Chains A and B, each alone.
Chain A
Amino acid sequence: MLDIEQLAARLNEHPDFMSSGKYFDGAIQLEIGNDRIWIKVFMGRVILATRQPPPFGYTFCIKGPLEHWRFAMAGKKNRLHEAVVTGRLKVEGNTIEYARISRAVYGLSEVMHAMAQADGQALGDLT
């Protein structure tokens, strides 16, 4: 399972995430197979990361089956953007906001990719 405390801590130090997310007040949900992670972001900082998404939902969600997350994260290259462009992973919700904080999402993917590379089990079933 992805260590969400470590994820939040690393995002709060990632320059792209902090900078691009500076003008954002919302929540990003990740659906990695059956695993759901809800990340509340306010002005470039993660203020809560939980596996119990609140009933009021998210701003946008990046979701897909495990095999496609594996394609995006388990290889040497971070392929999240490619996975979304080619339809392996889906973005749902407010896709205008997803586009607007593109660099924050890129920062998120960089952190997840680095965690997957450093620890083969970091993304659970992904490896």
Chain B
Amino acid sequence: MNTEIIGRYIDVDGHRLFMDTAGDPSGRPMICLHTAGKHALQWRFVLPYFAERGYFVVAPDLPGHGKSLLKDYVPIDSIHVYAELVWKLCGQIGLKRPVIMGCSIGGDIALDIAAHHSADIHAAIPCEAAARTPTYPLAALERGLEDSGVPSFADQSYIGGIAASGTRALPERVAEIAWTRRLGDPRVHYNDLKGWIGHDVRHLLAGIACPVAVVWGNEDYYLPYELIKETVDGIPNATLIEMQGIGHYPHIETPEFNALVERFLASIA
């Protein structure tokens, strides 16, 4: 099985999008969605693992992130807008009944897709995400929307990456999280966070028909357990995968993540 990660481009709704892909295109499709302001590189430990197990894995850079261009250069500040764009991408590249996985805002996007298209997806795996995520301080967010309000953005992001990783995260993975957080445009990052705090799909949870696994690191200080519990309790067929000593980046912090997700997918096969 070829597990090499291969990049390609596609135009969706006027955005020129980059995506990493791995695996046989005839395999079961899986979409992986990155965190605020970041890019598909975050999934480099996940793509080969699932490609080797028969999945066709696609990790796009959302518009304005990584190597994806943004239509009209106006950053997107809505989780639902991202979700519908990702859903359109799935259609354009012919992904039938995909597994939708994402972390942080990517997890919120996965939940939004599940909330609106659950009959047409195999499963959703939101990581460090919830039905609502009003957890970022508004004053910091407003400052971040202006470049002059966030001096030393790269340093701030770097330190935030170290702080948001759990105590059981592998040190070399924490170093990678911190380094990759240095990259990107703060305006895009903070518009993503605007989407994060505005996201709320609680009224749609009861209608989610597909299996959902919510992955939560118990050291993620961006997401209190109460919001996770509210989400899991609200979805008819939901499972909580709790990871002790893990923070906001479970898919990068530890290789254990892949096996836990694989076990969930095997349980619903």
| Interface, chain A (partner B; CB < 8 A) | 20, 76-77, 79, 81-82, 85-87, 96, 99-103, 106
Kindly state the separation between the CA atoms of A102 and B156 in the bound complex, as whole angstroms: 6
Shortest Cβ distance from A59 into chain B, in angstroms?
A: 13
Contact with A along B137-162 (1 / 0, CB 8 A): 10000000000011110011011101
Contacts of B137 in A (CB 8 A): 85, 87
Do residues A79 and B152 form an inter-chain contact, with CB atoms below 8 A? no
Do residues A100 and B163 form an inter-chain contact, with CB atoms below 8 A? no
Q: Is the interface of A mostly helix, strand, loop or mixed?
A: helix
Q: What would 28 A/B residue contacts be, using CB atoms closer than 8 Å?
A: A20-B155, A76-B167, A77-B167, A79-B163, A81-B160, A81-B162, A81-B163, A82-B221, A85-B137, A85-B160, A85-B163, A85-B221, A86-B221, A87-B137, A96-B149, A96-B151, A99-B150, A99-B152, A99-B156, A100-B151, A100-B152, A101-B152, A102-B155, A102-B156, A103-B155, A103-B158, A103-B159, A106-B155
Contacts of A82 in B (CB 8 A): 163-164, 221
Shortest Cβ distance from A93 into chain B, in angstroms?
A: 15
In the complex, what residue of chain B is closest to A103 when comparing beta carbons? B155
Kindly state the separation between the CA atoms of A20 and B137 in the bound complex, as whole angstroms: 25
Contacts of B150 in A (CB 8 A): 99
In the complex, what residue of chain B is closest to A85 when comparing beta carbons? B221
Kindly state the separation between the CA atoms of A106 and B152 in the bound complex, as whole angstroms: 13
Shortest Cβ distance from B167 into chain A, in angstroms?
A: 5
Do residues A103 and B163 form an inter-chain contact, with CB atoms below 8 A? no
Contacts of A87 in B (CB 8 A): 137
Contact with A along B117-153 (1 / 0, CB 8 A): 0000000000000000000010000000000011110
Kindly state the separation between the CA atoms of A81 and B156 in the bound complex, as whole angstroms: 10
Kindly state the separation between the CA atoms of A86 and B150 in the bound complex, as whole angstroms: 18
CB contacts under 8 Å to A, within B179-221, are 221
Contacts of A96 in B (CB 8 A): 149, 151
List 9 additional A-B contacts (Cβ < 8 Å) besides A85-B137, A85-B163: A77-B167, A81-B163, A82-B163, A99-B152, A102-B152, A102-B156, A103-B155, A106-B155, A106-B159
Kindly state the separation between the CA atoms of A86 and B167 in the bound complex, as whole angstroms: 18
Kindly state the separation between the CA atoms of A103 and B159 in the bound complex, as whole angstroms: 7
Contacts of A76 in B (CB 8 A): 167
Kindly state the separation between the CA atoms of A103 and B152 in the bound complex, as whole angstroms: 9
Contacts of B156 in A (CB 8 A): 99, 102
Kindly state the separation between the CA atoms of A100 and B150 in the bound complex, as whole angstroms: 8
Kindly state the separation between the CA atoms of A116 and B151 in the bound complex, as whole angstroms: 30
Contacts of B163 in A (CB 8 A): 79, 81-82, 85
The one of B152, B159, B167 in contact with A81, judged by C-beta atoms closer than 8 angstroms, is B159
| 6 A-B pairs closest in CB distance | A81-B163, A100-B151, A102-B155, A103-B155, A102-B156, A106-B159
Contacts of A106 in B (CB 8 A): 155, 159
Contacts of B167 in A (CB 8 A): 76-77
Kindly state the separation between the CA atoms of A87 and B224 in the bound complex, as whole angstroms: 14
Contacts of B221 in A (CB 8 A): 82, 85-86
In the complex, what residue of chain B is closest to A76 when comparing beta carbons? B167
Kindly state the separation between the CA atoms of A20 and B163 in the bound complex, as whole angstroms: 18
Contacts of A81 in B (CB 8 A): 159-160, 162-163
Shortest Cβ distance from B73 into chain A, in angstroms?
A: 25
